[in-house]
Amino acid sequence: MIATASITLLVLCSFNQVGDGYDLILPRLLDTLLGSLIAGLAVFFILPDWQGRRLYREAANALNNHRRYLEEIIHQYEEGKQDDLAYRLARRNAHNADAALSTLLTNMLHEPGHYRKLDADNGLRFLVLSNTLLSHLSALGAHRHQLADDEDDATLVPVAKRIGELLGQIAEQLNKRQPVEATKEQAAELLAQLEEQSAVAADEPAITLYRPYPKPTTPHR
């Protein structure tokens, strides 16, 4: 703005030397005001990287990374515990995506209110759910081991795979800024299935395997 005003004064002073300064004041002033308006609109609408524009994309990225982490955990429960590169990479990406979403929302709260609208509140609620999901995934990962066919938890593996597919669908809809109402019925069905299997497992009698420890031998003197 200062540079534009200085150039305008320079042009007027230059033409004033030949006597045409007064004829150029109005056209030059109009051009200056029009250029300032265009520059202001560009700075306000085009150049700023408003975080709200990336909220849905970052939320979808977080869900996709959580899905990959869940898939690696399921693989560990099927094949046995292995702290391999694929598992560690999926775990790190899930935590990094969750941290990136948290940073985006923090920066978003410092933006003008008319750009945040309701996205900030929805984003904060989504962040809470994302943190909760990541905590549950971390707990599953900490206790991962190869499940036997006769274990009760083995019946939950297909449900866990279906949950991973559902997370992928929600992420795709978020990335396209589409409502996720269509997945509510599938989520309710999976929840009912989990509750049913939990109730069946609770009704079964608990079996405690008794293995007596060998008596310690007394060393001969």
pLDDT digits (tens, 9 = 90+) for 192-206: 877 776 666 555 554
CA distance linking residue 129 with residue 123, whole number of Å? 10
Q: Which pLDDT value is given to residue 32? A: 76
CA distance linking residue 195 with residue 193, whole number of Å? 5
pLDDT digits (tens, 9 = 90+) for 166-180: 999 999 988 888 877
pLDDT digits (tens, 9 = 90+) for 23-60: 667 777 787 788 878 877 777 777 667 777 888 999 99
Residue from 109, 102, 104, 107 nearest 128 by CA: 102
More confident residue, 74 or 213: 74
- Residue 40's alpha-carbon distances to 43, 52, 75, 165, in angstroms, are 5, 21, 54, 46
| Residue reference for tokens 């990962």 | 141
Residue 175 near residue 60 (C-beta atoms within 8 A): yes
| pLDDT greater than 60 at residue 218 | no
Q: What are the respective helix, strand and coil percentages of the chain, to the nearest 5?
A: 75, 0, 25
Q: Which pLDDT value is given to residue 70? A: 95
Instruction: Give the up-direction half-sphere exposure of residue 92: CA atoms within 13 A in the CB hemisphere.
Output: 7
Q: What is the gyration radius of the CA atoms in the chain, in angstroms?
A: 31
CA distance linking residue 105 with residue 55, whole number of Å? 8
Backbone angles phi, psi at 179, to 5 degrees: -65, 150
More confident residue, 114 or 180: 180
SS (HEC) of 23-66: HHHHHHHHHHHHHHHHHHHHHHHHCCCCHHHHHHHHHHHHHHHH
